[in-house]
Amino acid sequence: MVVSRGRINTGFLALVTALFMLSSLPIQARDYTQAVGTIFCDGGIRGIATHIQSPQNFDPNQSVIVTAAHVIYDPKTDEPFDQCLYRPQNKRLGGIEFQTISQHSYSITNSDKVDQAESDLIFIRLKHRAYQPTLKLTTDFIEVSKFSFIGSDLELFRQSQCQTINHPYVTSKKLLLHNCPVGIGSSGSPIIHSHSNEIMAVHGGRFSIQTDSISDRPQQWIGQARRIDPSIHSALIDLLSAQ
């Protein structure tokens, strides 16, 4: 430390302050697993969420996460859990309360499973800032056949490679069908574009597809994720614009 006549050099102090502020700003994650965390509601982990980069012209220091809508609902009641927290990188002592949740039309009781999956995405603005890197939502919508998936293995986050599935029984422009290695607790996991390194979809669950009675595998399970499209960006802007 530079000291002059018993006083701290003001220029040095200003430099240290500037460096601290710069280092604490949200940054684009290089290791995708650094930008994710868990949704913890009413005593249990309900899914995964991703800390996202705020759009241009909005405060970069506020924290917003994206996840599957169903993770904050009690499947027994179709009502939100009483108390939910976001745990950055699943750090148990770092839970952050929710401030506001984006408007959505998801319902557990929706019998149209494709329609239900198409509405299974929410943004959550947190009461306090999450000190972790961010990932950006994709805006170019370039199709790719292979991508990265961030899932959980017990309490660890792992990145894996997977690819698109084209299935004749499920057609939806809003959904990405995939063969990613999903497991219990993977709802809300981000799917990362292989070229832009941005979030291109959010994993919601799996479809059970009934094929035919004479097949060796009459039932097939395929992963489904809600794509990031202009309507999703609009929902984020509406959330951030609300007082």
List beta partners, residue 48. 38
Consecutive H or E run containing 107: none
Distance CA 202, CA 102 (A): 15
Identify the pLDDT of residue 145: 80
Query: What's the predicted TM-score (pTM) here?
Result: 0.83
Query: Which tokens belong to 47?
Result: 């899914």
Long-range contacts of residues 155-160, Cβ cutoff 8 Å, at least 24 apart: 155/90, 157/33, 157/36, 157/48, 157/89, 157/90, 158/33, 159/32, 159/33
Q: Burial of 154 by CB count in 10 Å (0-12 exposed, 13-18 middle, 19+ buried)?
A: exposed
**What per-residue confidence (pLDDT) applies to 188?**
96
| Gyration radius of the chain over CA positions | 20
The pLDDT value recorded for residue 4 is 35
**What mean pLDDT is reported for the chain?**
84
